Structure formats: structure tokens, C-alpha cells
Amino acid sequence: MITVLRIGHRPARDKRITTHVALTARAFGASAIIIDLHDSELEDNVRSVVDRFGGDFQISSGVNWRRYLEDSGAVKVHLTMYGIPVQDCIDNIRQDASRKGNLIITVGAEKVPGDLYGVADYNVSVTNQPHSEVAALAIFLDRYNHGDELSARFEGRMEVIPKARGKEIRNRVGNSITTTKPKRKD
């Protein structure tokens, strides 16, 4: 099981980017996200996506991250531009996680507390350039999952039907399925 731990979340400033962290975690193969500061609006937004698009992705907020990590018994990855390049450690992480059964991937918002570097089993960089927790998480998960997550099915009420142009969504309501097709441009 893969859990993403988001620390340093500031509800007033980070709602949008933490939502993106959560949706990226879900789309790229994690099962849950834990957020340090309580934010019920953020939880509702993410649950609404899960409710419509499927899967059993879990979200909880207001969790003491240090205690959570220390008690987890999981392999603990911290994504940071200062860490070991992902391409040099991903095989070891995968092996450790398959032995322990659980993997926690921590991402920060602003500067993370210094002791996180010691609590983590692996401090991992996705390039050593500063960029975004969303990009770092997506690339880490894609490398970890060998790209298999790209073809995962979520079996949701709403399902996007891939199209070369336009939009098509299949809606399941009870036993009936309706399809919203792209509008023709005449």
C-alpha cells in the first residue's frame, strides 16, 4: 500500500496545490493521503472526485506527521531536491517496500523540518533542481510503478472515454449508463 504524507499544509494558501497533490497521488497509484493540518473543505473536494471517478482512495487530515511516520513500520521516502536521484534508488525502495508491505512518500509545502531528513529511510530527488511537489510525486510514482498506473481502471460512476478530439463521458446511474458525447462543430 502506498500512502502520501503532505506536511506543511496551510489551509488558507495551499488548498489548490494540496488538492493537486491528492489527485496526483490517486491517479498515479497511491491508496491514501494524510495531511498534517485539518482541512475539511479539502477532504470534501477530494472525496467528491473519488465518489464520481471511482477507486477507494482515502483522505484524512489533522494528523501528527512525526508520530504517524515513526509508528508506521513502513518504508519512508521523503521527496526533496537535496536527496539521492530517484533513478539511483528506486529499485532498492521497491524491494524494501515489497518486504515491508507499506510505503509512505512525504512531500513538503514550504521548508520542511530538518529532522524529517533523519526520520526518512530514503531522501529522494527528482532532479536536484527546485520545482513542485506535484511533479516530484508524479514522476516518483511513475518510476515506482514502472508506468503500469497509466492504464489503471477506476470503475467510477463517471468514466472518460478517450477521444482524439472533443469530450466523452460515460455516466452510470443505478443500472443505466448514459453517454455524454462531444458536441459536433458544424
Give the other-Cβ count within 10 Å of 38's Cβ.
13
Distance CA 113, CA 43 (A): 24
| 162 forms part of the interface with ligand SAM (CB under 6 A) | no
DSSP 8-state assignment for residue 162: P
Helices 133-144 and 86-100 cross at an angle (nearest 10°) of 60
Q: Among candidates 37, 30, 47, which has minimal Cα distance to 104?
A: 30
Q: Tell me which stretch binds ligand SAM (CB under 6 A): 58-66, 103-111, 149-157, 164-172.
A: 103-111
Biggest CA–CA distance in the chain, Å, is 62
Identified binder of ligand SAM from the candidate list 32, 33, 126, 141, rule CB under 6 A: 126
Q: Which three cell numbers stand for residue 19?
A: 488538492
Alpha carbon 168 to its chain centroid, in Å, reads 25
Residue among 25 and 79 whose Cβ is closer to ligand SAM: 79
| 123 forms part of the interface with ligand SAM (CB under 6 A) | no
DSSP 8-state assignment for residue 54: B
| 13 forms part of the interface with ligand SAM (CB under 6 A) | no
Q: Tell me which stretch binds ligand SAM (CB under 6 A): 49-57, 64-72, 94-102, 109-117.
A: 109-117
| 99 forms part of the interface with ligand SAM (CB under 6 A) | no
Q: Minimum Å distance from CB 154 to ligand SAM?
A: 26
| 84 forms part of the interface with ligand SAM (CB under 6 A) | no
Residues making contact with ligand SAM (CB under 6 A): 79-81, 107-112, 125-127, 129-133, 136
